[in-house]
Amino acid sequence: MRISEIFDKVKGKKVIIAGDSMIDSYTFGRIDRDSPEAPVPVVNIEKEKLKLGGAANVALNIKSLGLEPILCTVIGDDSDGQDFVRLCRESNIDTDGIIVDNSRKTTNKNRVIVSDKHIIRIDNESTKNISEKLRDFFVETVNKLSTKSEIIIFQDYDKGTLDKSSISEIIKQNKKSFISVDPKKRNFFNYENVNLFKPNLNEILNAYASNDSSEKNLKKISKELSIKNKIENLMITLSERGLMIHNNQGNFKYKIKRKKIIDVSGAGDTVISLATLLFYLKLPEKFIGEMCNLAGGITCMKSGVNAIDLKELIKNAEINNLDIYI
């Protein structure tokens, strides 16, 4: 089978992405002098750029892979929220699942870039849980829209859109769906009976209050968590070490080929999007591992948060002869 045929199989399939979204903003400038008010440089702004982030960046990745994302998220009643909706519409992302909460801010992560170097990030956000009333409406919205889809991705950034109750209700009402999770600390152990659970190395070690990143310990933790929470496939991304997959077939580790890392922002969004698709299609672990390493590496070679380019991914996969693992 040609690699392009895999994506042809799912082209146009609808995918629910439920979770925390944000604006990723970039301020590009130059430094000519220090401030007379404090021992800090003065950045003269030359250009500003806004991008979709968080669950919305997963939606962009899903769209880039040829599927149709349905984004379910909560934003604020503010200018960033207006920009967020505009960017979604410009990217042809379904906005039916976007809920406006006038009591909170739209998360904005502003990165200041000087001479291609990221010198500071300024976050403007609210991380408290959404109200019980809004949570119930969010769950109702997700469950209503999920009737159009066989796949649900939870994108959790600990910004308050998801909690134990909403997670449980959505999973309970969508037992026939393929459910994948990109977790954070607050709800880490609240995801049960899911098909794919994808923490990164820091997230899983923090969850277990461990600093032992050895392969032996990660295998032990993976097995324990998979049994306890009834997880079908557990994937741990290990940055430059590649990734690990644990399921009932065993443990598998895939090393990443060395690449020039420019920016790791958004790499996890790309990997959860691609891994969800490949596990949904029940493709071999070796192929999934190598493809996800490749996709994450491509994303890290670009500055800023970027969705994967499908043509570039397929071209690189063919160059690396990954079709032999299908």
Contacts of 71 (CB under 8 A, 6+ apart): 17, 21, 55, 56, 59, 88, 93, 94, 95, 97, 98
Residue 269 is among the residues annotated as catalytic for this protein: yes
Contacts of 136 (CB under 8 A, 6+ apart): none
Task: Compute the Cα dihedral for 290, 267, 99, 133 and give only its sign.
Answer: positive
Q: Which residue has the tokens 């997963």?
A: 58
Q: Do residues 160 and 166 make contact, with C-beta atoms less than 8 angstroms apart? A: no
Residue 6 half-sphere exposure, CB side, CA atoms within 13 Å? 28
Pairing type for strands 196-197 and 178-182 reads: parallel
Rounded Cα distance, 322 and 293, in Å: 11
Rounded Cα distance, 114 and 133, in Å: 43
Contacts of 311 (CB under 8 A, 6+ apart): none
Task: Give the end-to-end CA distance of the chain in Å, rounded to a whole number.
Answer: 7
3-state secondary structure of 249: coil
What H or E segment, with its residue span, contains residue 41? strand 41-54
Q: Which of 20, 94, 182, 269 is catalytic?
A: 269
Report the 10 Å Cβ neighbour count for 105. Answer: 18
Rounded Cα distance, 54 and 66, in Å: 19
Contacts of 135 (CB under 8 A, 6+ apart): 129, 163, 165, 166
Q: Which two tokens stand for residue 281?
A: 């299609």
Q: Which residues are catalytic?
A: 269
